[in-house]
């Protein structure tokens, strides 16, 4: 909640987390990967724009056979967030942001 408050004050998602002493992305895919393995999943199509998510799951022995992008149309409410995800976190978005707002 504190990170969301900082974002409301103008910090982007990465800056807000770092200002609070956290990494930009704290997610760990181990538990989810273990659950998938227990269910017998060995390979999958993964809906994500986050290459670290693919690497994280593959690190637990799951095979990503296809990455399916999640397409979101930029608008005045989400453009800064999408730019930050693309420019600072390496998300695979099909946008060419000419004005850097992140």
Q: Which of 8, 12, 25, 28 is catalytic?
A: 25
* Active-site residue flag, 2: no
Collapsing DSSP states into helix, strand and coil, what is residue 48? coil
Sign of CA dihedral 49, 51, 55, 56: negative
Nearest to 14 by CA among 1, 3, 2, 29: 3
Q: Which of 2, 8, 12, 27 is catalytic?
A: 27
Active site (catalytic) residues: 25, 27
């Amino acid at each position: 909640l504190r990170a969301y408050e900082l974002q409301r004050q103008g910090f982007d998602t990465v800056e807000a987390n770092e200002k609070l002493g956290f990494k930009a992305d704290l997610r760990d895919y181990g538990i989810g990967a273990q659950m998938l393995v227990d269910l017998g999943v060995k390979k999958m199509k993964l809906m994500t724009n986050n290459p670290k998510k693919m690497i994280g799951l593959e690190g637990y022995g799951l095979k990503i056979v296809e990455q399916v992008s999640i397409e979101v149309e930029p608008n005045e409410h989400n453009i800064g967030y999408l730019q930050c995800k693309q420019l600072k976190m390496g998300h695979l978005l099909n946008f060419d942001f000419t004005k850097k707002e992140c």
